Amino acid sequence: MTAEASGAAPSTAALGDRIAGAVLALLAVAAWWHAQTFVSGFRQPVGPDLFPRLVCVPLGVLALYLMCRPGLNQRWPRGVALLRQAGLLVVLGGYAGFLESWGFLPATLVGSVLLIRLFDAAWRQALVSGVSLTVILYLLFEYALGIPLPAVPGLGV
């Protein structure tokens, strides 16, 4: 599904392309430069640094071209939308971080309730469906699939 299909109109000010071009060009140069550290003891016609460098050349050239001749971009998010996206990343990042130290059940419970809230459900709906989702996932993975999930420290579940 392209962003175009979801209704966001392309905007003509393609500042994003210029920034992306600059970032990618820098990346290509840095990757090329870093490739000099790939030294192996073997004598081969082609070392481990050749292929990455070979990729960096067109990547860098095309990125520079994109910087000078940008194309169309979709509209970038602003205000509330941006906040909600940041919220999603914070919730998911936190979930990934706490999954092992808290254990699956508490981490997923908090994560799913917050997630459902982020998608505009009322607290009641979020709590009810968060709890059921957590339990279903736990039963599915732990028992139906037999995959151990991180346990709550000291409790063994």
Partner 1 sequence: MDILVFLLHGFAIALEPQNLFLALIGCAVGTLIGALPGLGPVNGVALLIPLAFNFGLSPTAALILLVSVYYGTMYGGRISSIVLNIPGDEPAMMTTLDGYPMALKGRGGEALGLSAVASFVGATVATIGLTLFAPLLVGFAIRFGPAEYFALFMLAFATIGGVTSGSFTKSFIAAGLGLLLGTVGLDPATGVSRYTFGLYELYDGIDFIAALVGLFAISECLLLLEDRRRETATNQELGSAIPGMKSARKCAPTIARGSLIGFVAGVLPGAGASLGSFLSYTLEKRWLGRKGDFGNGDPRGVAAPEAGNNAAAGGALIPMLSLGIPGSGTTAILLALLLSMNITPGPLLFEQQPDMVWGLVAALFIGNIMLLVLNVPLVGLFARVLRAPSWLLMPVVILVAFVGVYSLNNSAFDLYVMLAFGVLGYVLRKLDIPSVPVVLGLLLGGQMEFNLRRAMSISGGDWSILVSSGISIGIYAFAAALMAAGLLFAWWLKREEAGR
User: Which residue in 46, 124, 154, 155 binds partner 1 (CB under 8 A)?
Assistant: 46
- Measured between its terminal Cα atoms, the distance across the chain in Å is 39
7 binds partner 1 (CB under 8 A): yes
User: Which residue in 22, 29, 62, 127 binds partner 1 (CB under 8 A)?
Assistant: 62
9 binds partner 1 (CB under 8 A): no
36 binds partner 1 (CB under 8 A): no
Instruction: Supply the minimum distance, in Å, between the C-beta of residue 156 and partner 1.
Output: 17
Cα torsion 98, 101, 102, 103 to 10°: value is: 100
33 binds partner 1 (CB under 8 A): no
Q: Contact, 56 vs 32, CB < 8 A?
A: yes
Question: What tokens were used for 116?
Answer: 């459902």
Q: Contact, 126 vs 117, CB < 8 A?
A: yes
Site for partner 1 in 134-153 (CB under 8 A): 137, 141, 145, 147, 149
User: Which residue in 13, 26, 76, 153 binds partner 1 (CB under 8 A)?
Assistant: 76
By three-state DSSP, how is residue 120 classified? coil
